[in-house]
Structures are given as C-alpha cells and as structure tokens.
Amino acid sequence: MTETATKKNALVTGGTRGIGRAIVESLADAGYRVAFTYRSSSSEADSLVDALKGRGVDAMALQGDASSTEKAAEAVEAVTKEWGSIDVLVNNAGITRDNLMIRMSEDDWDAVMTNNLKSVFNFCKAAYRPMMKQRGGRIINISSVVGVTGNPGQTNYAASKAGIIGFSKSLAKELGSRGVTVNVVAPGYVETDMTAKLSDAAREAMVSAIPLQRVAVPEDIAAAVRFLASDGASYITGQTLLVDGGLGM
C-alpha cells in the first residue's frame, strides 16, 4: 500500500546519484510519479528511468543546469504538461568548492552560490504559480548541517545552505495561505563516494563527533523528505529538520 491515495507528481533536482537518487526511489516507492533533473550524466539518468519504469513507475528525466532560470521553468512546465500538476518539489542539486576563504576565488564563491542557492530560487519561482493555482503542494529544500553550524573551509557552501533556510522560511509565509508547505532537510555527514575515500583515521574522527556514532546513508535523508512530502506532514511548514545523527545539537 502506498502513502498516496491517488497519483501525485514529484520533481527532484539532481536526481541521478547519492541523496537525489535515494529521494527519487523513495518517492516512487510511496506511489508518486517522479521526474528528476540531471546536468550531464545521461547514461545514469536513462538507467534510472528504465529501472523505475520496470517497477511500473511513471518517470521522467529532464536534462538541464538547475542554476538556469530558463531550464528550471522548462522542467516544471514539462511535469505539469505531462502529468497535470506538480505536487512535490525537492531542491537537491548542489556543488561544493571548498577552500579557506583567504584562498577562495570569486569564481568558487559565485559557482557555489549560483548552483546551491539560485537553483532553489529558480525552481521555487517556476513552481510558485502552479502550486498556488492548485491550492496545495510540498516544497522541500535540501540544506546542510553546515548551514546551521558553519565549517572551516566552507564559507561559500555554508552561506548557500544557510541562505536556503532563510529563503524557505520566507517562502513558507508567502505560500501558507494557499495550502503549500515549505520545509528544509539539513543532512549531516552522508555516505558518499567522497566519504568512502577517507582514511580510517579521518573517518574515525568524523564519526566520533556524531552522537549516533555513524555516518548517514542517502536513504536516511530520503526518509525525511518522504515524510515531509506525505499527508502526515500537512501541518508542518517553515521548519528545518536536521538529519545528522545529533551532530548539529
């Protein structure tokens, strides 16, 4: 049995790997039609669509840079044209370009702010009118514990992720009267290709700072997104849910 009585439609940015892929698969398991964006990994995108369709899930891969206002509008339009509505928007796309600020280039600052924060603006603006008209929807923006706590060498990343939190609170107040909720999921350390390459000593130091004494897996983040997208979260808006094993306490 799925969590949705009727088919609903979700759009996830950056959906081909890691957290994004886990979110796509979790929403598909919950009964949603799922569209996702990707920048360049067309083979991974095609493989994911094939896998979802093989399970009987309506799925759509949309190529485009999330930092492009035009591509964001095209993606939302594709979903609403094909499936009739956009019920859930998950802004997951993002990058890192870490360095101490004294060594950080202007390009590194601009790239992170554009890809991480402007992309959220782009997709939320594109979905704003359709969700208002249908008087309902869920927007879930992926931030980071670093946006709450800060982290040396990540001033650009922390600023972009903190910006998502403030943006989401403001948007929640704009859209609340139309039945649209806007929430944030802020992951802590997550098992990725990058963390898999850490030395044993570095990994041990990282895990020792986490009260639950383990790194998250992408499915931990996807479960939080799935909850906030569900009917059970209909009275939750403007909130930031830290899925970090207690790291940000």
157 is catalytic: yes
Q: What residue type is 194 in one-letter code?
A: M
Provide the b/e sequence for 203-223 (b: ≥16 CB within 10 Å): eeeeeeebeeeebbebebbbb
- Active-site residue, from 32, 38, 128, 157: 157
* Residue 246, phi then psi, degrees to nearest 5: 95, 5
Within 8 A by CB and 6+ apart from 65, the residues are 39, 71
Spatial distance between the Cα atoms of 230 and 136, rounded to a whole number of angstroms: 12
**78 membership: H or E segment, kind and range:** helix 69-83
Active-site positions read: 157
